[in-house]
Amino acid sequence: MIPLNIAEIAHAVSGEVHLAGDDTLDTVISGTVDTDSRLIDAGGVFVAKPGEETDGHLFVDAAVERGAVLAIVERRVPAAVTQIVVADAVAALADLARDVVRRARAAGDLQVVGITGSNGKTTTKNLLARILEGEGETVAPRASFNNEVGAPLTMLRVTAATKYLVSEFGASGPGAIARLAGLVDPDVSIVLMVGMAHAGGFGGIEGTFHAKSELVKALREGGVAVLNADDARVAAMAALAAERGATVRWFGRGPGATDVRADDVVVTASGTSFTVTVDGVSLPLRLRVLGEHHVMNALAALTAATTLGVSPADAVARLETVEIAERWRMQPLGSDRVRIINDAYNASPDSMAAALRTLAQITGPGERTVAVLGAMSELGEYSEEEHDRIGLLAVRLGIQRIVVVGDDARRMYLEAVAQGSWDNEAVFFSTADEAFTYLQGELRDGDRVLVKSSNSAGLRFLGDRLGESFS
């Protein structure tokens, strides 16, 4: 965090100060800010956030032991540390983030990029961060820090030397992206796609469209909207960009991608090669991140980076150094004998379909495709039909072993059986342990195994176990 004194922090969060020790209102604090006492380090600020399962106020002493010099709390606690009492700790976190980013902008050359989309946010964030790190200090979220707590925590890592802040914005409901993006007013807003992920929370795909479009509406006057030309709903956001006086830059694989386009895409088990054309200049690019669907994420990152002044050649060279997008996202495990692709951190109908297509594409002659599939969450009334659709797709792609895990995913198994998987091609297990036991005996040399589910299904840990077992 940029240096602020206690009075400035209290003013930013509209809080009441209770000093401790030798502190005064002029005491300057510049340590990291966190809501997890285990992550606090010397000089840090601990935000005591009430939670569903526990209460951050119970961990103020633990934070102090780790070096916290200030606690933002909703009620005073008996701890030997200066405390700022606020009405709402999460709101205070957002207010402090807004103030820090505003000050950093005023003091330097900070530029902010916001990313949203139904799929691909974290991968795009990581790809873009890798490019921008070569230009100057870059702050980007850890893992998928994209909600009302994670996004402000990322913003609060900004220092006076930070050149780029890359913020990832998820949407828990209508207005969520508007609130988070409104903390920073992005210079560049990237919208990747509008799909069925979380559609249950928005009342359908049109509700998702309106939620994602909030990032375009949050652009700074005269900013740049980086839009997917291949997605009709995203393309429609150009009109919203015009209302902000923003420029639109288009990426994609079709004719509408007039700024950054991919051609001649070749998918293999070691990555994806294609020709990328940036503002009329064509360059070869070999992306080591598995999956054809990551081509679009790379194009979005390239578009944003070149918008910020990075040369296309430098951006491409840096992209080619990225080996995996993130742990549990198309992460190669196992060995040449049995390859495991652990992609079970998140799942939507679109990403599930993309991962299955990748499995089919990268499996060569004499090799066998095995899909270990769990439930997709947050689909609401669309859950049954979307799980049916994935079961059908797995059969139509010719996946040779379909292993469905978890009662919430059972419809995928039933649909696979109904569509032609009658001879034990499809099997079902209620638990990951049962599936692991089966797969230990079933997998053989030449198998290419995809593990895919939403985070809540927990199959990422099954993927890790399989990776260790067949390494």
Q: Which range is least confidently modeled, 291-305, 331-345, 431-445?
A: 331-345
% of the chain beyond a pLDDT of 90: 79
Predicted pLDDT at 248: 98
Mean pLDDT of the chain: 93
> Which residues pair with residue 71 across a beta bridge?
46, 83
Show Cβ contacts of residue 56 under 8 Å, excluding neighbours closer than 6 positions.
Answer: 35, 37, 46, 47, 48, 49, 50, 89
Average pLDDT, integer, range 393-415 = 94
Whether 197 shows a pLDDT value over 70: the answer reads: no
Cα separation, 1 vs 5, in Å, equals 12
**More confident: 37 or 323:** 37
Q: Do the beta carbons of residue 413 and residue 428 sit within 8 Å?
A: yes
Cα separation, 466 vs 471, in Å, equals 8
Average pLDDT, integer, range 292-317 = 96
Q: Do the beta carbons of residue 56 and residue 65 sit within 8 Å?
A: no
Average pLDDT, integer, range 124-140 = 96
Q: What share of the chain is helix, strand, coil (3-state, %, to 5)?
A: 40, 25, 40
Q: Which two tokens stand for residue 209?
A: 């469209």
Q: Give Dmax (Cα) for the chain.
A: 75
Predicted pLDDT at 328: 74
Q: How confident is the model at residue 461 (pLDDT cuts 50, 70, 90)?
A: very high
Helix (H) or strand (E) holding 471: none
Predicted pLDDT at 290: 87
3-class DSSP state of 113: strand
Reported as half-sphere exposure (CB side, CA atoms, 13 A), residue 9 has a value of: 34
**More confident: 205 or 56:** 56
Q: Do the beta carbons of residue 15 and residue 85 sit within 8 Å?
A: yes
pLDDT in tens, 216-228: 999 999 999 999 9
Predicted pLDDT at 405: 96
CA 369 from chain center: how many Å?
27
Burial-class residue 28 by CB neighbours within 10 Å (0-12, 13-18, 19+): exposed
- Structural domains in the chain plus CATH codes: 4-89 (3.40.1390.10), 108-319 (3.40.1190.10), 331-469 (3.90.190.20)
Show Cβ contacts of residue 135 under 8 Å, excluding neighbours closer than 6 positions.
Answer: 163, 164, 308, 309, 310
Whether 199 shows a pLDDT value over 60: the answer reads: no
Average pLDDT, integer, range 327-341 = 88
Q: How confident is the model at residue 205 (pLDDT cuts 50, 70, 90)?
A: confident
Predicted pLDDT at 204: 76
Whether 196 shows a pLDDT value over 70: the answer reads: no
Whether 200 shows a pLDDT value over 60: the answer reads: no
Q: Which two tokens stand for residue 26?
A: 């002029």
Cα separation, 446 vs 336, in Å, equals 8
Residue 59 is given by DSSP the state G
Average pLDDT, integer, range 434-444 = 95
Predicted pLDDT at 174: 82
Average pLDDT, integer, range 197-209 = 69
Cα separation, 288 vs 273, in Å, equals 8
Show Cβ contacts of residue 451 under 8 Å, excluding neighbours closer than 6 positions.
Answer: 340, 341, 342, 343, 344, 372, 459, 460, 462, 463, 466
Average pLDDT, integer, range 317-323 = 94
Q: Using alpha carbons, list the distances in angstroms from residue 334 to 327, 373, 417, 460, 471.
A: 14, 18, 28, 14, 4
Q: Which two tokens stand for residue 1?
A: 């965090």
Q: Do the beta carbons of residue 38 and residue 12 sit within 8 Å?
A: no
Whether 198 shows a pLDDT value over 80: the answer reads: no
pLDDT in tens, 356-389: 999 999 898 889 999 999 999 888 888 999 999 9
pLDDT in tens, 2-13: 999 999 999 999
Average pLDDT, integer, range 287-310 = 95
Predicted pLDDT at 391: 94
Whether 298 shows a pLDDT value over 90: the answer reads: yes
> Which residues pair with residue 115 across a beta bridge?
168, 190
Predicted pLDDT at 203: 62
Show Cβ contacts of residue 119 under 8 Å, excluding neighbours closer than 6 positions.
Answer: 192, 193, 195, 197, 293, 346, 348, 350, 351, 354
Predicted pLDDT at 145: 79
Q: How confident is the model at residue 87 (pLDDT cuts 50, 70, 90)?
A: very high
